[in-house]
Structure 1
Amino acid sequence: MPTPLDDWFAREILVHEAPLSHYLARCWPHRDEIADLRQEVYARVYEAAARELPRQPKAFLFTTARHLVTDRVRRGKVVSIEPMGDFEPSSVLVDEVSPERWCGGRQRLARLARAFDRLPDRCREVVWLRRVEHLSQREVAQRLGISEKTVEKHIAKGMRLIALYYYGGEDAAAPAGLAADAEGDADAPRQADQGGDVR
């Protein structure tokens, strides 16, 4: 059963898929990465909306897309810093992390790890390959022997479940059918893939 957040997401965000794809295609030179970028935008919007619904969903969607593209461009322009001979570490100001910040970060990381561990097996595998190992959607599909559409479904469901578990606390339960559906999606498309119909 779709949650109220799922209904909101479909009604306010997914309806803008065509203009979003067009916007990303104009801003990003690598056409084969547009689907991945779009999924990343959706994941960011969904996670943010799980905390608080934006008042202007369309504007928030395109602002998120702009920020994502900017982040990618910045990362592409990062220059590695080679060690210098007479570098004196004591001359650098270090922003020390307070024990409170360190502890809070560890707690958030542990909560995120627990949320990740609660994902169904195949869904967890897809999310790991896409979000941690940074494989493309196509590479994940090829490695796991499933269609790219199935990868897309697992990512969307994985992000929804992680947000639910992360923000809903340890006792949060997935909406009826969502976790099972996320696990079950893998089999049907995989059988179709083996039969030659990869989409």
Structure 2
Amino acid sequence: MDTDLDAWFAADILVHEAALVQYLRRAWPHPDEIHDLRQEVYVRVYEAAGKARPLQPKPFLFATARHLMTDRLRRGRVVSIEPVGDFESLNVLIDECSPERRLGARQNLRRLAEAFDRLPQRCREAVWLRRVEELPQKQVAQRMGITEKTVEKQIAKGMRLLAEHYFGGEAQADEAAAQGRARREAARPSAADEGTHGQDGHGRKQGD
């Protein structure tokens, strides 16, 4: 597991989910496909960032979304997509990943989303307003009725808890898997046990 990549993804990509979904809903003609499109965008960004981190995460995220929809347009010949800013000029080249790596990326993304949902209400609101809606810190403080210093603390706390929830959940899964392997090993007869089968209490083979 690449902990640096996961932390980067949570801090610089996942926080833009609301804006990404809004863009997809405006640009794509099939509302029932928005969820799958979003997940596919995340997988592509995650895989690409594993090779080289983009210098501008948010533009890279939206360029990846447009690149994906363009691919589907060419295959399905659906209606055209409205351009967004100068994202069209960005060169987004993302290699196709194996099914195993794609599955792993999807699982990581699901854990990140679950971790975000588990944040305390105030932390989640501060992170959302500052990182997703990109409001100035002063405006976030006014909206929440707290000081700017408290906003900073809530955002720092939220990002720390996000990492703890995410990595803690993975650690628990790893521990459960290890315990399962240990139980299977314990239930498996050892070579010594197998060697004693068919012997009497003095080590002689039965029938001697």
TM interval, shorter chain, is 0.3 to 0.5
TM-score (norm 2): 0.41
TM-score (norm 1): 0.43
Question: Which structure would you say has the larger Rg?
Answer: 2
